[in-house]
Structure 1
């Protein structure tokens, strides 16, 4: 039902006679999902001292929780574009920032995704939290940080599979279309896809290895006719990677622009070797 609603809104550009200028969604649990339909307006809303005209989610309120609590909302264009950044979608919880007592002490100017990224970079480098977990007898954890695209008609299939095999929630949904053919990222032009975003860690099960969950995600996305972006960890073997990301076309371009092969190839840049 959710995927069909997304497809209809994308096709029609509106919902119940109202123009839709922005569309995304969040699935919190099986059976609990929300779509956000945004409409731009040049008319600034009026408000009062006790009820401001526009919401501000850079303070104590969490934007992603507002989706569960409010049917309508008003944001300035600036705040709409940056609505997810204060809490890095919902990943600020890893730093305790969704605890009101910690949030009050954390300077507002540091509630930003680039600050969180630096903290994560330091943890990846020094592994302090990982060492504490080992000392406490907790299992090691695998990073599962991905944005994937599947055809809108296979969105429910992927989310159900993800629930059964990964179990990480919430997940983000964002529809998209390719306006033209891109050999290095082949999505069918004019077809609606849904980006499913999930960012976090899962415990490594006994007998499993780091990367197994990511490899399973990659295989399922491919099975469903989807694709995934390469900003995060990738585990494809060389043959599969070359086929999925149009490396033959890239090689032809590289022969012209880098005939001495001084630059690293995409596979070497993007794929983890473990």
Structure 2
């Protein structure tokens, strides 16, 4: 979704027909091509990794989508793991914070999340997200599960939509830590959804354990780690300990 009125649906299928394939590891940018082309062809390898060269669309934060800079940016360094290291380096030296001070940006928060919401609540979530957060583009990927996972309890057979959004937003000066992320967590929880735990999480412990199978994980710990030598999921996902 590039805007509330701009949503592109991509459908893929295998083919043995010989045809010219696109290469998005060079000067072309995959996420832009969706709005520019009605059909496309990629090798299986390139299809699976089509997002990687530009970290979906986040490479723009490093200037890698500028056509002049892109020409001299080594192809081997246009990869998500390189961009991730650049983010880590920036956190150490504070270049982005310096630029924000120069531009008089009062504050900034990283909002890097993937959430699942039931398909019937997707319009409400997207409207709320656009009003309250305003990040674009947004990744939408429908999914169903055929089995039940106690620690990530989606209802088998029901349709959910994975919503991915990765970037930063401006916030007022002195805003509490994780203000925007906390609001997103509350909205997703209200709509009966869940979020992946690869990024930051701010749930209180009671809510977290109710949502992510705390009782089942406690039973596993009592059996396999009775002395509590390993960190709990809450400690790792929320407290980063």
Q: TM-score range, shorter-chain basis?
A: over 0.9
Matches within 5 A, 1:164-179: 164-179=131-146
Aligned residues: 240
Q: The residue matched to 2:11 in structure 1 has which SS?
A: strand
Residue 124 of structure 1 aligns with which residue? 91
What's the TM-score, normalizing by structure 1?
0.85
1:147 and 1:228 in contact (8 A); partners too: yes
What's the TM-score, normalizing by structure 2?
0.96
Q: How far 1:208 moved relative to its partner?
A: 2.8
1:173 and 1:196 in contact (8 A); partners too: yes
Report the Cα distance in structure 2 between the residues aligned to 1:126 and 1:239, rounded to whole angstroms: 36
Gaps of 5+ in 1: 1-26, 47-52
Report the Cα distance in structure 2 between the residues aligned to 1:109 and 1:255, rounded to whole angstroms: 47
Q: How far 1:206 moved relative to its partner?
A: 4.3
Residue 6 of structure 2 aligns with which residue? 32
Q: How far 1:124 moved relative to its partner?
A: 2.2
Gaps of 5+ in 2: none
Say which of 11, 15, 18 aligns to 1:45.
18
Report whether the alignment pairs 1:144 with 2:111. yes
Deviations 1:191-219 (A, max 9, x none): 11100000000111246323111000000
**Structure 1 residues 227, 62: CA separation in 2 closer, same or farther (over 3 Å shift)?**
same
Regions of 4+ moved over 4 Å = none
Matches within 5 A, 1:89-128: 89-128=56-95
Higher strand share: 1
Instruction: Calculate the aligned-residue CA RMSD, in Å.
Output: 1.3
